[in-house]
Amino acid sequence: MVGEYISDHSPWTLPDLKLDYAFPCATQNEINGQAANRLIKNGMKGIFEGANLPTTLSGQKVIREHQILYIPGKAANAGGVAVSGFEMAQNAQRINWNGNEVDEELKATMHTIYDQIGTASAEGECTLEDGANRAGFVKVAEAMRSLGWVW
């Protein structure tokens, strides 16, 4: 099979694209409202963002209207950020974790993130997306308070 580049298009614009879950991971603004509608019509059940803002505001609106599972990049992409942090910590300490140690730390981190999202969403009975936003806001607010920036 040979791929073909088509200017100003993305895989999400293909009319016959059928999938259960979308994982947009390349650039911002990949899935707009029209693409989201098409994907939902073709049977999509959820979107897990692996990039920063790959779903436009109009795409997010369509996803919410259809109550499609939506995990924003701040949560779904957190594993890559966490592993980068592990790498920096190891370098700073001049230590080296084996693959199993990295996997265990990553699992623990992702479980914590999911628990924080779940707690935040359960408190306000909101979506996992809203829970991720609330949990992120609380973390920033607590950091600002601990630094004395907010009283």
64-114 confidence digits (pLDDT tens) = 999 999 988 888 888 888 899 999 999 999 999 999 999 999 999 889 888
Question: Which pTM value belongs to this model?
Answer: 0.71
**Which residue is it, tokens 């001049």?**
94
CATH architecture of 7-71: 3-Layer(aba) Sandwich (3.40)
- Our measurement of the distance from residue 30's CA atom to the centroid of its chain's CA atoms, rounded to an integer in Å, reads 14
Give residue limits of the domains in the chain: 7-71, 75-151
Identify the pLDDT of residue 126: 77
Q: What is the DSSP secondary structure assignment for residue 12, as one 8-state letter?
A: G
